[in-house]
């Protein structure tokens, strides 16, 4: 199994770095591979370094323009260089069996929502989760609950979004995951 990790190119607070490193190390020890954005900086670098140090499989996927900016992780055994950010997300989705967002910024949110939405539309049936470090995702979850309450989001979709505290919690979530029905279905005639 491989987990696509979406996270920031900035480090954030030390507690987030520690949680990311522990999460990546524990996945590696469980024999779970990591697919991530291929960077050497910020939380991305923390995740890659911790998994590699624990002997884990780490696959980086990075667009050429970020390689040109010297942001690619130099120690990856496998680094896929692609043409665009769109290509990056598509390849990460193909290589992964599970998606998880660690703390991050706008890019992390964009990757999370695209993967989660693709599942709603039936483009995949892969679990999607949040690693909630220090309550980082609670404001977002509050907004998502508001979307359910106001009728914009089917509650089954929110219920299917995992909220986990560590690697063991993620693996338990994945083991019991049941993908909700597609958002849109063709009406019978």
Instruction: Please give the pLDDT value at position 185.
Output: 66
Per-residue confidence in pLDDT tens, the chain, 189 aa: 999 999 999 989 999 999 999 999 999 999 999 999 999 999 999 999 999 999 999 999 999 999 988 899 999 999 999 999 999 999 999 999 999 999 999 999 999 999 999 999 999 999 999 999 999 999 999 999 999 999 999 999 999 999 999 999 999 999 999 998 877 665 544
Q: Which residues pair with 6 in a beta bridge?
A: 101
User: pTM value?
Assistant: 0.94
Q: Which domains does the chain have, with CATH numbers?
A: 2-173 (3.40.50.450)
Token duo for residue 169: 């919690």
Token duo for residue 53: 């140090």
To the nearest 5 percent, what fractions of the chain are helix, strand and coil? 45, 20, 35
Phi-psi region of 31 (alpha: psi -120 to 50; beta: other; left: phi over 0): left
Contact 6, 111 (CB under 8 A): yes
């Amino acid at each position: 199994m491989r987990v696509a990790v979406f996270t920031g190119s900035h480090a954030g607070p030390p507690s987030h770095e520690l949680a990311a490193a522990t999460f990546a190390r524990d996945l590696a020890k469980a024999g779970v591979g990591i697919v991530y954005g291929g960077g050497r900086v910020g939380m991305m670098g923390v995740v890659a370094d911790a998994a590699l140090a624990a002997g884990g499989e780490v696959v980086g996927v990075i667009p050429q323009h970020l390689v040109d900016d010297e942001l690619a992780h130099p120690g990856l055994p496998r680094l896929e260089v692609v043409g665009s950010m769109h290509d990056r997300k598509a390849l990460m989705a193909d290589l992964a069996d599970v998606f998880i967002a660690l703390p991050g910024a706008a890019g992390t949110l964009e990757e999370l929502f695209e993967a989660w939405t693709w599942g709603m539309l039936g483009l995949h049936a892969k679990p999607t989760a949040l690693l909630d470090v220090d309550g980082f995702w609670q404001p977002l979850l509050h907004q998502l609950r508001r979307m359910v309450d106001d009728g914009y989001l089917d509650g089954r979709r929110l219920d299917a979004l995992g909220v986990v505290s560590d690697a063991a919690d993620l693996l338990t979530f994945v083991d019991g995951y049941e993908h909700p029905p597609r958002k849109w279905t063709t009406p019978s005639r």
